[in-house]
Structure 1
Amino acid sequence: MTSPISKSVTQGNFYVSSECDHVLNCVLGSCIAACLYDETQTIGGMAHFLLPCSNDRDGKESTKYGAYSMELLINEIMQRGGDKSRLKAKIFGGSQVTKGFSTVGEQNIDFIRAFLLHEGIQIVSENLGGKRARQVRFWPTTGRAQMMLLPNAIFDQPSKTKLMSTGRNEITLF
C-alpha cells in the first residue's frame, strides 16, 4: 500500500483527482471548502473559495469567488468522466474567526447551500459556521472526509456544528 499524496488546496483554488492515493487538504476560516465527488466514476475535487461572488465585472472570473470556482470544479469533474447527476457534496467552513469581522462566513454559507440546491447536488455532510478555524482532509475518489476544529486565540469555544450523515458518507472528526 502506498502512502497518500497530500495536495493542499489553497484559498482561491480548486483541485480535481481520480487518483485513489490523493488526499486534498485545506485550512479554513470564513472561507468554504466544497468537496464534490462521483463515487461511481471515482472522481472528485475540492474548491476553496473566499467570497460568494464579485460585485465588479473584473473580478467575476476569479476562483476566489464561489460562483466561478464551483462552476470550474463541476466542469472539470464532468470533463474527466464524472456525471453531474451523481455528484454529492460535503461542505465546510464559514466561521467568524475574528472579532468584529464582517459576516462573510455567513454569506459564504448561504451561497454554497443555495448554489448546490440550484445545481441539484445533494449535501450529504456539512460542518459550517461557528467561531473556530477548521482543517479538512478529503479523499476525492471515495468522498471520505476528515475535519478538525482548530484552537483559536480570540475565540476558544465549540462551533455550532451541524453534522449530517447518510450511510458511509460520514465525516470523521480527528
Structure 2
Amino acid sequence: MKRRLDFNRRKEVNNIYAGEFYVTTNREAVITTLLGSCVAVCLLDEVNSIYGMNHFMLPTETKRKAGDKAGKYGVDAMRLLLTEMLKQGAKLKYLKAKLFGGGKVTRSSYNNVPQANIKFAQRYLAEQGIPVTAQDVGGECGRQIYFIPKEGVYSRKLKSTYRGLV
C-alpha cells in the first residue's frame, strides 16, 4: 500500500494494490485502487464509522507461490478485510458492501477469471449476511476506484487499450 497526502484536498490518500486491503475510521480518507479483471470490495459500517476496501486477483487459491500477498485470493482477502474491520469495532449487522471490477480486459475466450471473481465476492457477502448496496462489475473495461467514506465510492471506467497480440 502506498500512502500519500493530497495537498490540494488536504486528504490522506491510500492506494492499495492487488493482494492488499486498508481499513480506516477517517471519513475524509481516500482509498483508491486500479482494477481490470480483479475485484475490489468496499465495506462500510456507518454506525461505528469503520470503512475498508480490498483488492483481489483470483477467487480461490490455485497454487500459492512464495511471495504471494496474503490477500491475492478472494477467500483470504475477504477474511482479512472483515477480520480487521471487526477488530477495529465494526459490527457485522451494520456492514454494507459495494462491489467493483471483474472487467474482461483481455480478448481471451477461455478467461473466466472476471466472472469467477464477481460470483465469489457476491456469494461470500451473501453467506456473511452483508448486503451489496451498489456494484459496478463486468463489462470490458478497467476501473479506477476512489472510496471516500464521507462522500461515497466513485468508479471511473477506463477505455480498453487492448490492441491484439504483438
Structure 1 distance, partners of 2:25, 2:117, is 27
Return 88-97 or 47-56, whichever deviates more: 47-56
Match of 2:91 in 1: 83
Under a length normalisation based on structure 1, what TM-score does the superposition of the two structures give? 0.82
Q: How does 1:15-94 map to 2 (within 5 A)?
A: 15-56=22-63, 62-94=70-102
Structure 1 distance, partners of 2:136, 2:148, is 17
Displacement of 1:99: 1.1
Amino acid at match of 1:70: M
1:14-67 deviations in Å (ceiling 9; x for gaps): 000001221100110000010001001111100100000113477898210011
Under a length normalisation based on structure 2, what TM-score does the superposition of the two structures give? 0.86
Return closer, same or farther for 1:143/1:12 CA change in 2, 3 Å cut-off: farther
Structure 2 distance, partners of 1:77, 1:68, is 14
Match of 1:135 in 2: 144
Contact residue 61 and residue 68 of structure 1 kept, 8 A: no
Match of 2:127 in 1: 118
Q: Secondary structure at the match of 1:35?
A: strand
Q: How many residues align?
A: 153
Match of 1:164 in 2: none
Contact residue 35 and residue 46 of structure 1 kept, 8 A: yes
Amino acid at match of 1:20: R
Structure 1 residues without counterparts, runs of 5 or longer: 156-174
Displacement of 1:84: 1.0
RMSD: 2.0
Runs of 4+ in 1 over 6 A off after TM superposition: 57-61
